[in-house]
Structure 1
Amino acid sequence: MKKDSFPFGPGVTSMTGFGRSEKTFPGLSISVEIRTVNNRHCDIGMKLPRDLGPIEGEIRERIRARLVRGRISVLIIVSRDAANEETLKLDNEAAQVCYQKLVELNRTINAPGDVTLGQLLHFSDLFAKQTQRELTDELRRQALETLDAALDDIIEMRRREGVSLAEDLLARIENITASRIEIEKLAVEQPKMQMQKLQERLQQLTDVEALDPGRLEQEAAMMADRLDVTEECVRLDSHCDAFLKTLKGSDPVGKRLGFLLQELNREANTIGSKSAVAEISHLVVNLKEEIEKVREQVQNLV
């Protein structure tokens, strides 16, 4: 089937990708960056501001549900406008102490008048700048909205990468199928060729007339059974069909394809062990090389 007409399913997704989103809200902006590389499991590393700490678990679950597999690095930055970033907080205890000291000073030096608020305001240490760092329902909604947009971005990229990888897999599966067909053709003649070689060797060692035809027929039947690769070729074909069917599915394909490759490699090894013809041996080598190339590519898929 041609690559451009193959109906790749949504499960064909690469584990490598990058996604970013930045959104501006009243008084603040939020940016989210997500990077993913290959990993057998879902390994999430996050850097986020302290005020989003209470929803870290929710963020992780949302990422895990949508990206499924890979080593995932997430960076979330919340930037607030200066007017909304800091507030002044009065140190009440320090203000009381300062007031008492001013009253005592007035008494000591017999200063006219009472202590005023204006006098207290000269003590700048009574006020401390306080940064707003509270998780509100609105901030939670804004953070998750920005996260979802970044996830949409990386999923789109991973999908494109996945389809590109899968197109190469199609070509490899076609090569495997072509080798299997050639092996089947040669395997039909393999017992005859081996029997002919056996007869030639026996003729060199024994008087031709002394050879037992019945024994030769029995040996030929046993040889044909030992060298028969029909079942292995049928299973190879079945695994290739299952491989293509998996590429059309909606579920993540990586682990399923990895299992099928193990089965393909098992059949190739069995065919190789039964090979008594150089041409078949060469085809088996080609077969295993293609399977290995497919395996390397499949490791990149979710």
Structure 2
Amino acid sequence: SRGKLNINVHVTESDSGEPHIKVDEVKVKAYARILREVQEAAGVEGSLNVRNITGFGDVFITQEDDEEILAEKWSVALKALSSALENLIAMRTQEGNQLKNDLIERIENIEANLKDIEKVSNGRVEEIRNKLRDRIQQLFDDENFDKERLETEVAVIADKMDITEEIVRMRAHLKFFIEAIEQAEPAGRRLNFLTQEMNRELNTIGSKANDSEIAHHVVRSKETLEQIREQVQNVE
């Protein structure tokens, strides 16, 4: 998974809540003893009262939250965190489905262009072979000319212009791409690799075909593939 999530929890006490305060018994006893000593030294009679001691503000101390209070606060924070994470997961799932549908649509566009390329290329190899044979035969119309060698050379040239293998591999890449985005586990690296492979196949098809109509479909496919490549950067 890409990135990380940091969470900070801040607790703000409500003004209406009762403060957690306790008495510092050690100081209370110390102040009481000192006040009695003062009375004796001054020769003042009378008894001490609570006000005499509570006049010293530091006899009250704020009580830290005990385990029960901390557990209660953590329970509230945990519920809020769980709700936020559920919303985050739901949002990511929704965005993921939208991205998947977008990628599938673009892959289908490339598949449509590939079908058009295949239609144009069907029969081209044989047509090219015949044209080359006729052209060369006209140039070397001689009974002593090695016709068998001519056929071999023509076949080699025509085969170099055959894009059948590239179309087959391209279709396999498209199939693997769809399978990858349909799976639950992260597929970002695999999709990125497949887009690179598809780009190579399209480049080869364009260079080998040497046909304006096929070149047009190749350009359209590469434009769509670039859009796919950009979208894939957002996939884990």
Same fold (TM over 0.5): yes
Counterpart contact for 1:183–1:283, Cα < 8 Å: yes
- Secondary structure of the equivalent of 1:86? coil
When the two chains are superposed, the root-mean-square deviation of aligned CA atoms in Å is: 3.2
- Secondary structure of the equivalent of 1:112? coil
What residue ranges of structure 1 are gaps of 5+ in the alignment?
1-39, 50-77
- Secondary structure of the equivalent of 2:5? strand
Give the C-alpha shift of residue 176 in structure 1.
0.6
Given the alignment of the two structures, is residue 293 of structure 1 paired with residue 227 of structure 2, yes or no?
yes
Q: What aligned pairs does 1:53-202 form with structure 2 within 5 A after superposition? A: 78-82=11-15, 84=17, 86-130=19-63, 132=65, 134=67, 136-191=70-125, 192-193=127-128, 196=131
Q: If the length of structure 2 is used for normalisation, what is the TM-score?
A: 0.78
Between the two proteins, the alignment pairs up a number of residues equal to 232
Structure index of larger Rg: 2
Q: Indicate the structure with greater strand content.
A: 1
Counterpart contact for 2:162–2:209, Cα < 8 Å: no
Which has the higher mean CA deviation after the structures are superposed, 214-223 or 99-108?
99-108
Q: If the length of structure 1 is used for normalisation, what is the TM-score?
A: 0.63
Q: Structure 1 residues 96 and 266, CA, compared in 2 at 3 Å: closer, same or farther?
A: farther
Q: Which amino acid aligns with 1:235?
A: R
Q: Which amino acid aligns with 1:43?
A: K
Counterpart contact for 1:190–1:277, Cα < 8 Å: no
Counterpart contact for 1:91–1:126, Cα < 8 Å: yes
Equivalent residue, structure 2, for 1:271 = 205
Q: Structure 1 residues 113 and 165, CA, compared in 2 at 3 Å: closer, same or farther?
A: same
Given the alignment of the two structures, is residue 226 of structure 1 paired with residue 187 of structure 2, yes or no?
no
Counterpart contact for 1:190–1:276, Cα < 8 Å: no
What residue ranges of structure 2 are gaps of 5+ in the alignment?
none
**In the aligned structure 2, how far is the partner of 1:186 from the partner of 1:244?**
25
Q: Structure 1 residues 133 and 171, CA, compared in 2 at 3 Å: closer, same or farther?
A: farther
Give the C-alpha shift of residue 87 in structure 1.
0.8
Higher relative contact order (CA 8 A, sep 6+): 1
Q: Structure 1 residues 225 and 197, CA, compared in 2 at 3 Å: closer, same or farther?
A: closer
Identical pairs, percent? 36
Given the alignment of the two structures, is residue 46 of structure 1 paired with residue 28 of structure 2, yes or no?
no
**In the aligned structure 1, how far is the partner of 2:157 from the partner of 2:130?**
8
**In the aligned structure 1, how far is the partner of 2:26 from the partner of 2:133?**
107
Counterpart contact for 1:86–1:131, Cα < 8 Å: no
Q: Structure 1 residues 193 and 85, CA, compared in 2 at 3 Å: closer, same or farther?
A: farther
Q: Indicate the structure with greater helix content.
A: 2
Give the C-alpha shift of residue 140 in structure 1.
4.2
Counterpart contact for 1:85–1:132, Cα < 8 Å: no
Q: Structure 1 residues 80 and 256, CA, compared in 2 at 3 Å: closer, same or farther?
A: farther
- Secondary structure of the equivalent of 2:7? strand
